[in-house]
Amino acid sequence: MVTLKFLEAWKHVLQLCNLRPGELVCVLVGEAAHPDSVEAARLSAQMMGARLFKLELGEAPAAKIAGESTAAQGPTALSGNRGAVEALKHSDLVIDLMGIDRGREQTEILATGTRILLVKEPPDVLMRLLPRPEDRIAVRAAADRLTRAKIMHATSKTGTDLTVGLGEFPVLVQYGYADEPGRWDHWPSAFAAGWPNEGTAKGRVILSPGDCILPFKSYVRTPIALDIDGGYIRHIVGDLDARYLRDYMDSFHDPEGYAVAHLGWGVHSRAHWTMLGMYDKRQTNAMDARSFSGNFMFSTGPNAEAGGNRHTPCHLDIPMLDCSVALDGKPATIEGRVV
Ligand SMILES: [Fe+2]
């Protein structure tokens, strides 16, 4: 049942998305769409005077790997459905309750000026992490620093020492609402990230107890050492958690899955590291973990959404605790705190 509070939250977010009367809104519904969000999206868009259609797609192609789409990427029910893609290109705002494949159809739809807002978390998470204009200011400030930077250097007391070159790709900017033409965002989120220049990631990342691995949606218990050279993870060393990570990545049979992808930090003041432990895995998309203030998000796999050529479905987001990030020698975070 849609509560009044939830409906108010949706109206608030659609207002932040600059939804205007008469604009065309598509509510894109996939298999995993939360029924309350389907209903609240429809009602709130209509209350604001938008024109509306709901697009319900068929079944997605069978997944090769268990789990779901919080991180792993690949073809969706939209892939190859030209009629549906054209309908989305003619919309002003797409409320994506399914999860469009980022590097492919999504790029084409955004290029027409359509705004896309991805929404996958359950109602209580959406309301707890309701976006605010100040999130945009904090994320933009982080993104501006990333845009100007040439070198990112991430370190930790546990041994992380990673260097990457920046500047080849645009910066990933997520503050929880899609307020400009051609903008994609994800409610809820608040982080910025840069994409390493091809082949430049080099060093060592030590995943330590408490770091979050997505899509596993679990906390690391035993340290994992990732040796990185030429932009790719070359060795994964450690005990049980390393074995698990290694076997998962190997199961894609895709060398591109070992590439280092977006790297950045969270600035969300209401998201919390502990929340991943509070939900059943099927209940949450782990946006608390990606967004909490000061996390260093290491990631692996594709860079197609940034304009790169890498399309691998093997994608991991790994928010880490207590790391320090420097850009061109100047600190952006120090031991897990945003400067
Ligand atoms: Fe990611």
Q: What are 165-205's pLDDT values in tens digits? A: 999 999 999 999 999 999 999 999 999 999 999 999 999 99
Could you tell me the distance, in angstroms and rounded to a whole number, from the CA of residue 302 to the centre of ligand 1?
9
Q: Of the candidates 68, 102, 128, which is a domain's last residue?
A: 128
- What CATH code is carried by the domain that includes residue 113? 3.40.50.2300
For ligand 1, the distance from its centroid to the CA atom of residue 193, given in whole angstroms, is 9
Ligand 1 mean position, distance from CA 74 (Å): 13
For residue 132, how many other CB atoms are within 10 A of its CB?
A: 18
**269 & 150 share domain:** yes
Is the domain of 121 the same as that of 149? no
> Do 67 and 123 share a domain, yes or no?
yes
Nearest to 212 by CA among 126, 107, 302, 290: 290
Q: What is the pLDDT of residues 230-254, one digit of tens each?
A: 999 999 999 999 999 999 999 999 9
Q: What is the dihedral of CA 116, 119, 125, 129, to 10 degrees?
A: 0
Residues 57 and 165 in one domain: no
Mean pLDDT across the chain, nearest whole number?
Answer: 95
- CA–centroid distance, 191 to ligand 1, in Å, is 11
CA 12 – ligand 1 centroid, Å: 26
Longest dimension (CA), the chain: 57
pTM: 0.94
Question: Where does the pLDDT of residue 102 fall: very low under 50, low under 70, confident under 90, or very high at 90 and above?
Answer: confident
Quick one: 137 and 39 in the same domain?
no
Rounded to the nearest whole angstrom, what is the distance from the C-alpha of residue 286 to the centroid of ligand 1?
11
Distance CA 189, CA 58 (A): 28
**Over the range 193-202, which residues count as b (16 or more CB within 10 Å of their CB) and which as e?**
bbbbbbebbb
Q: Render pLDDT for 266-302 as a digit per residue (tens, 0 to 9).
A: 999 999 999 999 999 988 999 999 999 999 999 999 9
How confident is the model at residue 103, as a pLDDT?
A: 74
**Selected residue with higher pLDDT from 140 and 77:** 140
254 and 313 share one domain: yes
196 and 312 part of one domain: yes
Mark which of 128, 156, 172 sits at the end of a domain.
Answer: 128
The alpha carbon of 47 and the centre of ligand 1 are apart by a number of angstroms equal to: 33
Last residue of a domain, one of 73, 98, 128: 128
Distance 71 CA to ligand 1 centre (A): 6
Position 282 scores a pLDDT of: 87
Residues 333, 211: one domain?
Answer: yes
Cβ atoms of 226 and 235 closer than 8 Å:
yes
Q: Compute the distance from residue 105 Cα to the ligand 1 centre, in Å.
A: 17
CA neighbor of 3 nearest in space, from 40, 33, 56, 35 = 40
By residue range, what is the domain housing residue 303?
133-338
**Which among 315, 260, 317 has a CA at the least distance from the CA of 292?**
317
Tally the domains of the chain: 2
Burial of residue 82 (number of CB atoms within 10 Å: 0-12, 13-18, 19+)? exposed
